[in-house]
Structure 1
């Protein structure tokens, strides 16, 4: 068996995954591709990750697609859900998740280290792209392996709680101000956000 290390690709449960972190005998993994498109929530209302429809789907219908053996390797974890550092919108309660989306802090840590850009917002900076981030391209993902240009959700709140943070599909910038939780960005013709599930896997 090939040694598993950070950055390794692996197959699990019918999907291709990328290893983001290792801790003892478990690995944090995220799907290599955007595997489907879904709204963050089923209504346009203030919401946090704890109560959103996408979390319910990932820990319900999506999780149930795994067989018994695969489920036994998925490790439930307690996720912290920090407030949006730039806008102060509420991240909500801690959650116990078997499957989840990454938060802003995790994306800034695992796709190259962009934590300084997150923590040191420019005085008049409104958008992530207003400062250079050499790690943007590392966050790009294809939709079902077919083409580039699709954006994907994070679990963090945007500047208000009817928005959630996302990754731009064209350049990998962090949309820290957020996209509409129900319809995404109506102007881009690709309205529904992409889903890249993450989970902790027993090795």
Structure 2
């Protein structure tokens, strides 16, 4: 979804009369109507700054031409200043589409970064499911299982903090999937690594990661359906699927029944709290991350 226009928010005044103000598709019968319109546009509300900046950007040239009218000069200056101020606080632009806290919402699919997804190994844009929008950031998870790796590279008792999967996501994956500018837009998330509430297997220390797997609690909190299909690339690297529905198994970061197990989601979307051995193969990876929605334009 792109930036919205204001055509559904405000209506032009079409009355004929003295001091008619024409502003592209808007016609105001007098300077008072124009000033009232700008005052309403600049009124209270959580998306006030966004509404003003959109309007000013769309009508900048016309606003400059009418700025010389003394009766409306102050209001025009207000609009132009708002547009200039907004330039200092730009939203993230991905593949030509601009996203902001107003336009991104839970359940949206956006494209960010590039990673191999087909059998040929060529990179293509990664699709992300928006799990949460909070203030100026969004929590994302890959729409598909992007790769297949073990949780750890040996069969041993391990926590997320020391796991191979954590190292791979925050080194190999992030460097492969994102440019340096894109990486700057990925926030460090403070992760709670709780014990398994059934088996009491230890979750280990909390961590700060740019890229991570969801925990049991997060998978329960943010998802309706947790079913996921792997990319062809992930299947080439061993991701297993249920033959009846083609959905895959995918890792969570929480511990399973024992310290050498990690939890996962099965092809039916159910959480498997006893987990699988950390050295198991066949489980896909759905990276999760938080992006800053008010950052430099890529």
TM tier, smaller: 0.7 to 0.9
Cα root mean square deviation, aligned: 1.3
Aligned counterpart in structure 2 of residue 164 of structure 1, from 259, 262, 266: 262
Counterparts of 1:159 and 1:44 in 2: how far apart (Å)?
14
Structure with the higher helix share, 1 or 2: 2
* Secondary structure, counterpart of 1:108 in structure 2: helix
Aligned counterpart in structure 2 of residue 142 of structure 1, from 226, 229, 232: 229
Normalising by structure 2, what TM-score? 0.55
> Larger C-alpha radius of gyration, 1 or 2?
2
* Secondary structure, counterpart of 2:254 in structure 1: strand
* Secondary structure, counterpart of 1:60 in structure 2: helix
**1:83-122 alignment, distance < 5 Å:** 83-112=195-224
* Secondary structure, counterpart of 1:139 in structure 2: coil
| Counterpart in the other structure of 2:30 | none
Q: Which runs of 5+ in 1 are unaligned?
A: 113-137, 184-190
Show structure 1 runs of 4+ deviating over 3 A.
none
| Counterpart in the other structure of 1:122 | none
| Counterpart in the other structure of 2:166 | 55
* Secondary structure, counterpart of 2:212 in structure 1: coil
Counterparts of 1:68 and 1:34 in 2: how far apart (Å)?
23
* CA positional deviation for 1:90: 0.3
* Secondary structure, counterpart of 1:105 in structure 2: helix
* CA positional deviation for 1:101: 0.2
Partners of 1:165 and 1:176 within 8 A in 2: yes
**1:33-52 alignment, distance < 5 Å:** 33-52=144-163
Counterparts of 2:247 and 2:206 in 1: how far apart (Å)?
32
* CA positional deviation for 1:72: 1.4
Q: Which runs of 5+ in 2 are unaligned?
A: 4-102, 115-125, 236-244, 294-298
